[in-house]
Amino acid sequence: MLSPTSQQLVIQKVEQCFDYANERFNQHFDLPKISFKQRGKVAGSARLQSNELRFNPILLQDNLDIFINEVVPHEVCHLLAHQLYGRVKPHGQEWQALMIDLFAVTPKTHHNMDIQKVAGEVFRYYCQCGTLELSIRRHNKITRGKQNYICRKCHSVLKIAS
């Protein structure tokens, strides 16, 4: 269960990031809507069109310092890049520059948090170079005949392990 204190600290950090951006760019950025409804292995996400930030409450509760120091600036920079530059690559040079120049945070595209509590059921698949695990979502797409997945290394179609 996510504590109200953790939520409040994230909200305060978002506000601090926007205050700092307003000052540095000498313009006003609207504060985003903030929710703690992000699910799965993702720590946070930025909804550009609706100006919303979503944070994963389970990962947040176990990794408060990482959220405050890395995840919040990461997601805020997505919104700022969109508002400053329009349509750009999600982790492109504009976003990276904001991470470094504005918040002095190393731009990383993935987190290293323990995802044991949020990892869903996985299914073993194989290709020419070995076995790997797919999420239930990908597994269901394959079983319904809506999708095939190809190994990035050997380029063969993944098959379910028996």
Residues 6+ apart with CB under 8 A from 84: 25, 94, 98
First-to-final CA distance of the chain: 37
Considering 23, 52, 75, 121, which one is annotated as catalytic? 75
DSSP string spanning 32-91?
A: PEEES---TT--EEEETTTTEEEE-HHHHHH-HHHIIIIIHHHHHHHHHHHHHHSS--TT
Is residue 75 among the annotated active site residues? yes
Q: Which position has the token pair 């990482």?
A: 66
Catalytic residue positions, numbered:
75
